[in-house]
Amino acid sequence: MSRRVVITGLGLVTPVGNDVPTSWENIVNGVSGVVPITYFDTTNYEVKIAAQVKDFDPANYMPYKEVRRHDPYQHYQIAAATEAIADSGLEITEEMADRSSVILGSATGGMHSFQTYSTLIYETDNPRKMTPFAIPMLVANGGSDVVAIQVGARGPSAPLVSACATGADTIGFAFQMIQMGRIDRAIAGAGDFPIINLGIAAFDRVGACSRHNDDPAGSVRPFDLNRTGMVFGEGAGVLVLEELEFAKARGANILAELVGFASTTDAYHRTAPAPDGRGAAHAVNLALADGGINVTDVSYINAHGTATSLNDPTETTAIKLALGDHAYKVPMSSTKSMTGHAMGATAAMEAVFSTLAIRDNVAPPTINYETPDPDCDLDYVPNTAREMPIDVVVSNAFGFGGHNASLVIKRFTD
C-alpha cells in the first residue's frame, strides 16, 4: 500500500499578490493582475499587456549581493519556498536531510539572464563581461539548487520541464517519490519569469497572445465566446508535501491531502492540443484512479483555461469525456483569468489555489465571462466566487507539445 501524502505549507508570488493571503484574497474577489507591460518598451510590439508581479523586492528574501547572482525566476521560487516552509513550520535536521527533497521546476528557466547576457556579449564581443554566475542563473534547476542548499535537503532534486504542465508534473513527481518511500518530505512547485522581449515576441508569433491592450483587466476571457487569447503571467507557487505519519509526528498543520497524479502526452502537435481531448481526459481519469476517487466525488475543477480558441473547447470536451454526465454538475473555473498564464509556474500556483478552495469551501471565479460559447457549455463559475462544500479538487495543466497533467487534492480526514 502506498504511503499517504499531505500538504502542510503553501507559498505564492503572483500578479495579484506577493504572498498567499494577499493572492488568495484577490483571487476570491476576482481581481485581475493584468497591466500594461513596464519591463521593456512595447512600442514595436503588438502585445502590450501582461500579468506582472508588482512591488516585489527579492532583497526581502536574500542579501542584496545574492539578488544579483540569481535570475528573476529564481527570486520568485526562493520567495515562495520561503513562505511555504515558514507556513509549514518544517525544519530539516541533519537526520532528515537525506530523505528530504527540493523540486522546483521552470518551463522557461533563466530567459531573462539569457537575453541580458546574450545581448551584452553580442554588443561588446567581450567574454569578460559575462558574470561567473551565468550558468546557475540560466538553468531551469537553479532555484531548486539554491533552496536545497538553504534548507539542507540532500534528497533527489530533479525538476521537470514539460511546458505549461511543469508545475503539476514537478509536484506529482515529488508526490510519487514520497508515496514510494524514497523520501519523506519535499518542497515542490515551479516559478517562471517569461515577460521579456523574447518571450512576448515568440508567443505572439504563434498567435496565442491577446492584443486586447486597451482593457488589460478585461483581456483574459477563458471559455467566453469573445476570448482574445492568453496573456503572459509570472511568479511562483510552492507546496510543502510530507508523508502523513511524519507530518503528524511533528504536529504539522495539515491543509489537505494530495491523493492522485497522472501525466499523459497527446503525441499530436508541437503547440496545439489534440482536438478530441482524449489525452487530457485520460490524465484526469488516471489521476482520479490513482487517488481512488470516483468521478462523482469531484467537487471542483481548477481548469487550465488559457482563453485561447484551441484550449477552451478542447478542455471542455476533455472534462466531458473524463467525467461523463457529472461534468455538468461540477463547477470549473480558470484562475488564469486573473493571474494570466505564468507558463510552468501556473500549475503550481493553481495547486495552491486548489488547496485553499478546500480549506475555505469556495470556488474561485472565472472573471470576464460575459458571452457563452456554444462549444463551452459547462459551469465556469462566472465572475463571482461561489461558497460551496469542496472536498475533492482536480487541478489541470495542459501544455504545448501535448503535455497533460492532473493533480487530485482532497480534504484531509484521519
Catalytic site residue 112? no
Query: Distance between CA 102 and CA 109 in Å, rounded?
Result: 16
Give yes or no for a contact between 133 and 116, defined as CB atoms under 8 angstroms apart. no
Q: Measured at the alpha carbon of residue 218, what is the angle toward residues 214 and 219, in degrees to the nearest 5? A: 70
Q: Which of 70, 212, 282, 341 is catalytic?
A: 341
Give yes or no for a contact between 271 and 364, defined as CB atoms under 8 angstroms apart. no
Q: Which of 209, 304, 376, 403 is catalytic?
A: 304
Query: Distance between CA 307 and CA 210 in Å, rounded?
Result: 9
Catalytic site residue 341? yes
- Among 410, 77, 72, which Cα is nearest to 238's? 77
Q: Give the total residue count for the chain.
A: 414
Determine whether 218 is exposed, middle or buried from the number of CB atoms within 10 Å of its CB (0-12, 13-18, 19+).
middle
**Grid coordinates belonging to 175:** 508526490
Residues 6+ apart with CB under 8 A from 392: 293, 297, 298, 299, 300, 408, 409, 410, 411
Q: Measured at the alpha carbon of residue 79, what is the angle toward residues 343 and 336, in degrees to the nearest 5? A: 30
Q: Which amino acid is at 225?
A: L
What is the signed CA dihedral for 336, 339, 343, 345, rounded to 10 degrees?
-110
Q: Which amino acid is at 271?
A: T
Give yes or no for a contact between 301 and 320, defined as CB atoms under 8 angstroms apart. no
Q: Which of 164, 212, 282, 403 is catalytic?
A: 164
- Among 218, 237, 234, which Cα is nearest to 226's? 218
- Among 248, 263, 295, 190, which Cα is nearest to 5's? 248
Output Rg (C-alpha) for the chain, integer angstroms: 20
Query: Distance between CA 161 and CA 170 in Å, rounded?
Result: 8
- Among 407, 293, 291, 410, which Cα is nearest to 350's? 407
Catalytic site residue 304? yes
At residue 405, φ and ψ (nearest 5 deg) are: -145, 140
Query: Distance between CA 392 and CA 399 in Å, rounded?
Result: 23
Catalytic residues: 164, 304, 341
